Structure 1
Amino acid sequence: MTAGAAGGPEEAAPSGIGRRRAAAQGENRAAYRERRQEIISVAADLFKANGFRGTSIGQIAEALDTDRATLYYYIGSKEELFDEVVTDAVRANVEVARSIRSGDGTAPEKLRRLLMALMESYAVHYPFLYVYIQENLSHVGGTRAEWSREMRQLNKAYEEALVAIIQAGVDEGTIRPVADAWVIAYGVLGMFGWTNRWFNPNTSPVDATTIGSAYVNILLRGMVTDAS
């Protein structure tokens, strides 16, 4: 059974395996962590190629040349795996945004730091954040409703930090008031988010830092005033 629009878990792991998995996690075994990371990597590739909803636990198991029962020793469901990785990444991005917003520097300097960090995060957490963007997985229901709610709150917090930086630049005279701050912010996020269509840090001849720098330079040359 695959996850439908309600966003429920694909399958529940057998209770005995669940207890063994919890015990292994508690023991913090290096081999367990290494195998689980391998599973995450393989699942990520399938999520990117087939879409999150189009990928089943069975496909992940097949790609790893194992069976679903063995896979459940390491993960409870594809949702659990995906949500764990994405939550950590999104939380970290929000903390970076808030730190930059409240830190030193002019608005253009802050904007550069923030957007460079965002692009580099896409590479570090590839392809999880891209799958999250592509499939709008911040809006799911069922058993993932609480996770979805947190994701929407984190998205809003990130957007608010970006809008605040741009608005501060307009107020201090370093950023041109070409539109409302939120309009500029959404345009910026759209520009960087669109890289999900073509950027793969494992195969791209251009790295995330170079892409981020190029995009920031394009943006700032159109946004920054002589006062900066």
Structure 2
Amino acid sequence: MAAPQSNITRRRLAARAEGSDEYQTKLRELVNVAADVFKEKGYEAATLAEIAERFGSVRASLYYYVSGKEELFQEAVRDILARNLADAERIHGLDLQVREKLDMLISQLIASYEDHYPHMSVYVQENMLRVTGERTVWATQMVRDTRRLEKVWIRLLQQGMDERVLRSDIPAVLMANILFGMCNWTHRWFKPGPKLSASQIADAISKIFFEGAVSQVPPAPVT
């Protein structure tokens, strides 16, 4: 038998069902505040009390919007991976050369860090540590989408090797992990601003990566 719902839980569910613009705006503001705190403190060290203080409220009032800290984390990163996966699969399907597609994937991923800052940084910083040991529907979906995203990159890198555009003495999985590492580590130091743009970072990563990854063997003939 399910436990009875608290009054605040009933109010939260009713407000979400109604979906008023005011409620959704305040929820987004709360999630943005939480993302900032998660970025600064890390998920484990962050507290609802601190999030509430920055939100200009008290801890108890947060339960009108979310069930707790874990839901705030989930809301902060929920849609980012799904959008990145959709973009990666779209790019993979384009009628372009492998190098062009990989350049676009790098640019799209770094642009996502800029467009969704600090939410994307929270995702990279905390997400896989938080979800790999969980068995919730949300965690399972996050892990599944992450694996699908990785496979898009691996397939393109393997295609580049098969076409002798990329060197083949390094396994595609290892090369993908190295490239992901170059992109994902930017969460430690990249903060959007006037001094450095996502496009500049993406261009630098592409140049450094492909200078080492390019094949020294003549490309395979086009058939």
TM-score normalised per structure 2:
0.87
**How far off its partner does 1:158 sit?**
0.9
Matches within 5 A, 1:1-228: 15-135=6-126, 136-141=129-134, 145-201=136-192, 203=193, 205-225=195-215, 227=219
1:11 aligns to what? Answer: none
Contact 1:108 1:224 in 2 (8 A): no
Hey, what's the Cα distance between the residues in 1 that align with 2:75 and 2:28? Answer: 12
- 1:142-179 residue CA offsets vs partner (Å, 9 max, x unmatched): xx633222222111111111000001111122222241
Hey, what's the Cα distance between the residues in 1 that align with 2:31 and 2:138? Answer: 19
Hey, what's the Cα distance between the residues in 2 that align with 1:140 and 1:57? Answer: 23
For 2:197, the aligned partner's letter is: D
Hey, what's the Cα distance between the residues in 2 that align with 1:138 and 1:126? Answer: 20
Q: Which moved more, 1:183-192 or 1:123-132?
A: 123-132
Give unpaired runs (5+ residues) of structure 1.
1-13
Contact 2:157 2:172 in 1 (8 A): yes
Hey, what's the Cα distance between the residues in 1 that align with 2:181 and 2:131? Answer: 16
Contact 1:107 1:175 in 2 (8 A): no
**How far off its partner does 1:30 sit?**
1.5
Report which structure shows greater RCO (CA 8 Å, sep ≥6): 1
Hey, what's the Cα distance between the residues in 2 that align with 1:58 and 1:83? Answer: 18
Hey, what's the Cα distance between the residues in 2 that align with 1:208 and 1:138? Answer: 27
**How far off its partner does 1:53 sit?**
1.1
Hey, what's the Cα distance between the residues in 1 that align with 2:111 and 2:18? Answer: 32
Give unpaired runs (5+ residues) of structure 2.
none
User: Residue 130 of structure 2 aligns to a residue in which SS?
Assistant: coil
Hey, what's the Cα distance between the residues in 1 that align with 2:59 and 2:75? Answer: 20
- Matched positions, count: 212
Contact 2:32 2:76 in 1 (8 A): no
Contact 1:97 1:114 in 2 (8 A): yes
**How far off its partner does 1:212 sit?**
1.1
Let me know the Cα RMSD of the aligned residues.
Answer: 2.0
**How far off its partner does 1:15 sit?**
2.3
User: Residue 124 of structure 2 aligns to a residue in which SS?
Assistant: helix
For 1:169, the aligned partner's letter is: G
Hey, what's the Cα distance between the residues in 2 that align with 1:227 and 1:218? Answer: 20
Contact 1:166 1:181 in 2 (8 A): yes
Q: Percent identity?
A: 36
For 1:73, the aligned partner's letter is: Y
Hey, what's the Cα distance between the residues in 1 that align with 2:130 and 2:23? Answer: 28
1:4 aligns to what? Answer: none
For 1:196, the aligned partner's letter is: H
Q: Which moved more, 1:111-120 or 1:76-85?
A: 76-85
For 1:138, the aligned partner's letter is: V
